[in-house]
Amino acid sequence: MANRITGVDIGSTTIRAVEVENPGRPNPSLIRHASIPIPRGAVARGEVVEPNTVAACLRQLWTTHRFSSKKVVLGVGNQRVLVRDLSVAAAPRQQIREALPFNVQDMLPVPVSEALLDFYPIGPNPANPGEVQGLLVAAVKEAVLGTVRAVESAGLNTTEVDLIPFALSRALAPAQSGTSANVLIEVGATATTVVVERSGIPQFVRIIPAGGDDLTRALGSELNLEEPQAEELKRGLGLARSVDSPDQQRAVEIIYRVTGELLTSIRNTITFFANTRPDQPIGRVVLTGGGTQLPGFPEALGEMTRLEVVPGDPLGKFTLTRKLSASRLAAERSELTIALGLVLGSAA
């Protein structure tokens, strides 16, 4: 069999997978893609709570959609994953990794023994030529291993576990390097990932504990609606400028309030980066994820940040096989971004 690998993005309500051939070559071939819903509660805030349920869904996904590769790269990114700026003495990356447990304990919310640590170098520290600037990545070990166990229970082989913000950067960073930084934003069901990248290198990462589900729940709770009704109302109205009835007016008020809180968090994150890195001007904002499909969301973010806001297109880095539906891919590309970025990382 050709060199194939499958990127798996396990969300709170859906598992998405993409199978790619020759991920190490320019424009690797996208062979197939599929998604499957998972029962509520099986995954909570990016963590697998019911591994047997998730394993059963993965087996069904592989069987129904005929995935051939059992080699899987997984993504992690939730509130039990910490990403922080860190400067360390210049050394080979492996040596830096080995020294992390002795250097970062004061930065962690858990003991070093309970965390998985890594360091992503960005470049030399301008203030100290003997240091390297980078990003410390620390994940609670049990949270990551729980996801791995669920995948392996499904008969699959986890070859790598990657950070979702890094996958986002690989999938959406422009092919051409520029002088400006780009803000990449993925709004998922329960979390919003913000990555500032420059020339394809992540400079800054924040994970905001809010997403599209918060709005669905607010509509359901305050208007006494079942989840499917609340979801339909959310997608139908969005950030509407005008409404036809008092009931719609009440719904729109909720949508503006809840979405406004998320937009404010995103704006504050961008402002923090801009204030702390004045030497890295921001060019534009690139959006992806199901939550960004809310009508009016891109326009509202553009007004709030005064930046150009554009949709992300992760498919430009892949060759599409003939059997794939171009129209279906175009409709689903936003939801597939993380899985596509994960397979690109497997080739690194």
Q: Is 67 helix (H, G, I), strand (E, B) or coil?
A: coil
CB 51 within 8 A of CB 148: no
pTM: 0.92
Which has more pLDDT, 330 or 150?
150
Between helix 212-223 and helix 246-276 the angle, nearest 10°, is 150
**Secondary structure (3-state) at 308:** strand
Question: Do the beta carbons of residue 115 and residue 97 sit within 8 Å?
Answer: no
In this prediction, residue 2 carries a pLDDT of 62
Q: What is the pLDDT of residues 169-211, one digit of tens each?
A: 999 987 666 678 999 999 998 899 999 999 889 999 999 999 9
Buried residues in 196-226 as b, exposed as e (16+ CB within 10 A): bbbeebbbbbbbbebbbbbbbebbbeeeebe
In this structure, what token pair is assigned to residue 128?
């100290």
Pick from 214, 219, 244, 222: which is nearest to 234 by CA? 219
What integer pLDDT is reported at residue 348 of this predicted model? Answer: 55
Q: What is the pLDDT of residue 175?
A: 67
